[in-house]
């Protein structure tokens, strides 16, 4: 597995990380602990050194899983987690909270769940409009001084918030959605990241599974799967968007790879400071994803992909309305 550096801070990670959320949260029932630990261990064996979690995944159970699974390899890996939500006693998210006192409380709890003395990369999960970004960045700066955090990150933040945060405490990485079917960051965010020397960590690089070709308009999801509430995953939208996967499939056949590998290789080819974090619960998908780092896309290949994308008008919003309001601020 090749290594990459996230921005000017030089945080070195594997070119592909592992998004661990789906092992505990959002995509149906949680994976049995033994199987989940085996998958994380397989990721380490295959060269992945970058693991992503958050307190709200579960909530709390994903951090506990990641901490337990990575304890034997702690000095060899980079663990990223997040703060920014209120979580009720019944485990439900109840609005945003990035007040300094709350950030500190979350960090102390996360350190315990992750079984570690320091968080390698701490993201603000979503920008909190009720707390000045200077206060958020200043609190993380203090936590870095105290040795509890190594690097500061933002997730789904807008350009103004990124600039304000970076002026107080250099931002190492931005984590936001970016893939062949969500390219909005290219317009304003990616040029800003390049200007400021900030790395980019795309989540949902496989379109929440759609770009693998394993989902069509007849696919049904578990009742607890959040894709049931995502407009882009309505049966009508999936049927309309199938043309993108079909065209990618043709390119994949020509390259003797899979559509997922084309999608990940395309992301890796965009910038050297991009490190996507595909998630999976399946060992064979983990191996398939990791093999994408060996897929070399030529200039002609990339032009072919652009030609494909130009012929597809992706249908459906990427979030339900209440979640869409939290991004890009």
Answer whether residue 158 is part of any domain: yes
d(CA 264, CA 278): 9
For position 264, what pLDDT does the model report? 98
Answer whether residue 306 is part of any domain: no
For position 148, what pLDDT does the model report? 98
Tally of CA atoms within 13 A in the half-sphere of 295 that contains its CB: 28
For position 147, what pLDDT does the model report? 98
Answer whether residue 222 is part of any domain: no
Question: Distance from CA of residue 163 to its chain's centroid?
Answer: 21
For the four alpha carbons of 216, 219, 224 and 229, in that order, the dihedral sign comes to positive
Answer whether residue 140 is part of any domain: yes
Q: Which residues contact 95 (CB under 8 A, 6 or more apart)?
A: 85, 86
SS3 218: coil
d(CA 121, CA 152): 6
Answer whether residue 54 is part of any domain: yes
Q: What count of other Cβ atoms lies within 10 Å of the Cβ of residue 15?
A: 22
The one catalytic residue among 27, 57, 123, 178: 57
For position 144, what pLDDT does the model report? 98
Answer whether residue 103 is part of any domain: yes
Answer whether residue 178 is part of any domain: yes
96 has which bridge partners? 85
Total count of domains within the chain:
1
> From first to last of its 329 residues, what are the pLDDT tens digits of the chain?
999 999 899 999 999 999 999 999 999 999 999 999 999 999 999 999 999 999 999 999 999 999 999 999 999 999 999 999 999 988 888 999 999 999 999 999 999 999 999 999 999 999 999 999 999 999 999 999 999 999 999 999 999 999 999 999 999 999 999 999 999 999 999 999 999 999 999 999 999 999 999 999 999 999 999 999 999 999 999 999 999 999 999 999 999 999 999 999 999 999 999 999 999 999 999 999 999 999 999 999 999 999 989 999 999 999 999 999 999 99
d(CA 195, CA 163): 11
Answer whether residue 130 is part of any domain: yes
Taking alpha carbons only, the member of 169, 231, 178, 173 closest to residue 207 is 178
pTM: 0.97
User: Which residues constitute the domain of residue 193?
Assistant: 3-206+268-295
- Among this protein's residues, is 178 annotated catalytic? no
d(CA 125, CA 106): 12
R_g of the chain computed on alpha carbons: 19
């Amino acid at each position: 597995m090749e290594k990459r550096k996230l921005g000017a801070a030089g945080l070195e990670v594997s070119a592909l990380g592992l998004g661990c959320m789906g092992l505990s949260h959002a995509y149906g029932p949680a994976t049995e602990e033994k199987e989940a630990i085996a998958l994380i261990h397989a990721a380490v064996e295959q060269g992945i050194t970058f693991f992503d979690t958050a307190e709200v995944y579960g909530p709390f159970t994903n951090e506990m899983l990641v901490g337990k699974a990575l304890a034997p390899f702690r000095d060899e890996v980079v663990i990223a987690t997040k703060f920014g939500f209120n979580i009720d006693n019944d485990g439900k998210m109840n609005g945003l909270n990035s007040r300094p006192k709350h950030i500190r409380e979350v960090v102390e709890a996360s350190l315990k769940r992750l079984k570690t003395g320091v968080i390698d990369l701490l993201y603000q999960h979503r920008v909190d409009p009720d707390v000045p970004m200077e206060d958020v960045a200043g609190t993380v700066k203090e936590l870095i001084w105290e040795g509890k955090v190594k690097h500061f990150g933002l997730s789904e933040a807008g350009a103004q918030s990124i600039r304000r945060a970076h002026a107080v405490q250099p931002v190492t990485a931005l984590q936001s959605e970016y893939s062949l079917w969500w390219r909005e960051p290219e317009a304003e965010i990616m040029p800003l990241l390049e200007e400021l020397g900030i790395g980019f960590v795309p989540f949902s690089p496989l379109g929440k599974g759609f770009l693998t070709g394993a989902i069509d308009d007849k696919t049904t999801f578990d009742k607890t799967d959040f894709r049931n509430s995502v407009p882009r995953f309505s049966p009508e939208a999936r049927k309309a968007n199938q043309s993108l996967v079909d065209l990618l499939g043709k390119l994949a056949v020509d390259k003797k790879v899979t559509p997922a590998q084309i999608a990940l290789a395309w992301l890796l080819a965009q910038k050297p400071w991009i490190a996507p974090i595909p998630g999976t619960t399946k060992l064979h998908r983990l191996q398939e994803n990791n093999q994408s780092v060996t897929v070399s896309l030529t200039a002609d290949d990339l032009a072919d992909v652009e030609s494909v994308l130009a012929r597809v008008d992706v249908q459906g919003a990427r979030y339900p309305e209440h979640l869409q309001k939290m991004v890009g601020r």
